[in-house]
Amino acid sequence: MHVTHTATPSPNRFSIIAGGAAQLTIDLTALRANWCYLNGRVGDGCTCSAVVKASAYGLGAAEAGRALFEAGARVFFVALPEEGIELRAELPLAEIFILNGLFHGREQLYRDFNLKPVLGSLEEVADWSSFARAENQQLGAALHFDTGMHRLGMAVSDAISLNASARALTGISVDLVMSHLACADTPDHPMNRKQLKRFLRICEQFPDARKSLSNSAGIFLGPEFQFDLVRPGIALYGGNPAPDTPNPMLPVAHIRAEIINLRDVPSGDSVGYGASRVTSRKSRIATINIGYADGLHRLVGNSDSNPNGARVFIGGHFAPLFGRVSMDMVAVDVTDIPTEHLVRGATIEVMGAHVSVDELANFAQTIPYELLCSLGARYTRHYKS
């Protein structure tokens, strides 16, 4: 991975920065602004945390973590203890929870790096309690209860039994009680109300602990879903937390590729592998230096039978991809783009201010989470602050 800290290049003029890789700019100012916006959406007494698992959704946990801490975030969530250790090196004062729970036999690791497991089973509770008692310490943790996802989390009945037991939570400081919404991005889905009702029953068993139910989309379901702490993830990185409404978040990840070749293709000739796309007119085709090795999903391409592929932005105009996405390159139909923007070395926005992560993910028939996490390692990365 190439990492630099240069400014974003001019959108229509290529600047020599580091070889021929496509450019990925992570706008840390936008990231901080997104956290501040979400923090402003929650009520008084509610904490806005930050989910930075999977290397901050592919954008770099260290850089993102520092920026979010500067913005005001003090509570962070990752999936794995290894991710927590990496983040701890950057943020010695942060509260860090491990969403995937207490991995068997790794209790010492959590204690040594001050990581709080999100305990999702009675077995995990027993192991963490036993370790804490052996260490003669009071160790922090979250208790995760399943209200309908059926992945991780204890049952409602487990909440009652834990509260009734005088020994089960010995040595554990219950710093958070949480669950996870399955359908928050569909506000009218009945599952949201069903999970809220179940979570309220659980909360009755732990009146003194902080409570958390909402992810990015859950924040927008209203105050009753926010409780004491919200856990935004995708919204921090520019994804739309409420897909059927205009996106209030700023784009954070900006991908720019370079025109490496321009050619005129006669009407009736094919472009790319499989001859899947044939020109219907004399066409100007630009080849740019990005492909599926960089995380540009093959499904964003197109064919004569399915011509509705993704688009890019150049010189104030949109231009459609043309044909299949290859490993290292993809063709763009620039026939309708003014010629002054069409020179070898010109940069093209593949994702960013004009082509959103949600739009590109839609063409890839996936979600922005997967798209961001799939960004390849060979981009020239710029952290803009």
pLDDT digits (tens, 9 = 90+) for 265-320: 999 999 999 999 999 999 999 999 999 999 999 999 999 999 999 999 999 999 99
Q: Are 80 and 97 spatial neighbours (Cβ–Cβ below 8 Å)?
A: no
Chain-wide mean pLDDT for the chain? 94
For residues 79 and 166, give the distance between their C-alpha atoms in angstroms, rounded to a whole number.
30
The predicted-structure confidence for 103-129, as pLDDT tens digits, reads as follows 999 999 999 999 999 999 999 999 999
pLDDT at 18: 60
pLDDT band (50, 70, 90) for residue 11: very low
The predicted-structure confidence for 44-75, as pLDDT tens digits, reads as follows 999 999 999 999 999 999 999 999 999 999 99
- Give the sign of the dihedral formed by CA 358, CA 364, CA 367, CA 373: negative
pLDDT band (50, 70, 90) for residue 15: very low
Q: What is the C-alpha radius of gyration for the chain, rounded to an integer number of angstroms?
A: 24
Domains of the chain: 42-237 (3.20.20.10), 253-384 (2.40.37.10)
Q: Are 297 and 325 spatial neighbours (Cβ–Cβ below 8 Å)?
A: yes
Active-site residue list: 53, 273
